[in-house]
Amino acid sequence: MGCGATTSQPRRFELRPSLSTVPLLPFRRRPAMQDWPGLIEGYRKWLPVSSKTPVITLREGATPLIPAPTIAERIGRGVKVYLKYDGLNPTGSFKDRGMTMAISKAKEAGSEAVICASTGNTSAAAAAYARRGGMRAFVLIPDGYVAQGKLAQALLYGAEVLAVKGNFDRALAIVREVADQYPVTLVNSLNPYRLQGQKTAAFEVVDALGEAPDWLCIPVGNAGNISAYWMGFNEYKAAGHSRKLPRMMGFQAAGSAPLVLGHTVEQPDTIATAIRIGNPVNKENALKARAESNGDFMAVTDAEIIEAYKLLGAGEGVFCEPASAASVAGLIKRREEVPADSTVVCVLTGNGLKDPTTAIEHNDSKFHTGLDPVTATVAQVMGF
């Protein structure tokens, strides 16, 4: 689909039988891939769009909910754990959910340029969707504090990147002023259409499980995503798609935990760069989600984040960026409080390829170098 508006009616999207369910005819039938049109079309009736909205999409959404038996075994007591892996969105993070909405609505309003402040993921998504829609993208990043994979994306997508001396919170203050004074649309999570798009992740969780989970564990940086999930769970329950609401359990890095501490952190510091934010703009919505869901906020250390990060990779085969692992680190830290036989969903917000440096510096694998190109030598190192 191109960048123009579409008036097609929403369809029901189902996976058809794979070859494994078609005996004796392995070469006569092919598995049909799910014809997913992107989250705006997939959840059109739940979103503030019309026939006049030009849908700018990269077919985002429909990310997998992956069972996590290794983590579940650590929790014990019959608890089921799932990973909502939004790192499989087109630009590698959950930001694509909000950006398809924000950019589509900006295009509808006649905007020719967008701007955002970013620790990395927002800049990649904003650049990709803006360029897809034929718009200019300006991104402000804290100089020296953005993972290389994320910076590479923004540059390749054609964004105009401005690295400012200072942290994310200062960059956000600047872009808010620019958007107020000049003809450019702000696409940070202050933009209400961002959260509208991001709430669809909650819909997908309920659609996959058939019910809302008992706990939703989620990393918290600028606090937009936890607010969006809570919005989505409430809307689905009100429509009769679920019978209950989850406890919203938000986890922040210990060096960047304003919601846990109850005050702004002037110099946030954590290995989890995506949540290195000291003054979250959506804090009031997040506090409301915590209160209404009987949830909680808690800090996890960088060491706990890295331990969970490695467990996800080596134990579950899932490669996420460090900030994503905060949700699992938090679940493990609070495991004694999880009710027996309950269902927990941990949100993984970004792909591990966003930050390959951390993976190289923090792993327990053996890396044998300088070996002679001889079969016997290789076999000997392998233990044969």
Q: How far apart are CA 319 and CA 358, in angstroms?
A: 11
Q: Residue 18: what pLDDT?
A: 37
> What percentage of the chain exceeds 90 in pLDDT?
84
Task: Give 29's pLDDT tier (boundaries 50, 70, 90).
Answer: low
Q: Sheet containing 247-253: give its strands across.
A: 65-67, 80-85, 343-348, 215-219, 247-253, 296-300
Q: Residue 33: what pLDDT?
A: 60
pLDDT digits (tens, 9 = 90+) for 133-144: 999 999 998 887
Q: What is the DSSP letter of 5?
A: B
Task: Give 296's pLDDT tier (boundaries 50, 70, 90).
Answer: very high
- Classified as helix, coil or strand, 54 is strand
pLDDT digits (tens, 9 = 90+) for 204-238: 999 999 999 999 999 999 999 999 999 999 999 99
pLDDT(266) > 80? yes
β-sheet bridge partners, residue 251: 219, 298
Q: How far apart are CA 191 and CA 268, in angstroms?
A: 24
Q: Residue 8: what pLDDT?
A: 41
> Phi first, then psi: what are they for 43, rounded to 5°?
-125, 35
The mean-pLDDT minimum among 66-80, 94-108, 164-178 falls in 164-178
pLDDT(12) > 60? no
Average pLDDT on 297-319 reads 98
Q: What is the DSSP letter of 266?
A: S
Task: Give 127's pLDDT tier (boundaries 50, 70, 90).
Answer: very high
Q: Residue 15: what pLDDT?
A: 37
Locate 322 and state its tokens. Answer: 């460090």
Q: Residue 32: what pLDDT?
A: 59
pLDDT digits (tens, 9 = 90+) for 36-90: 999 999 999 999 999 999 999 999 999 999 999 999 999 999 999 999 999 999 9
pLDDT(337) > 90? yes
Q: How far apart are CA 302 and CA 23, in angstroms?
A: 50
Q: Residue 142: what pLDDT?
A: 84
Q: How far apart are CA 173 and CA 169, in angstroms?
A: 6
Strands (DSSP E) found in 201-278: 215-219, 247-253
Q: Are 349 and 87 in contact (CB under 8 A)?
A: yes
Q: Residue 23: what pLDDT?
A: 45
- Classified as helix, coil or strand, 170 is helix
| Count of beta carbons in the 10 Å neighbourhood of residue 171 | 25
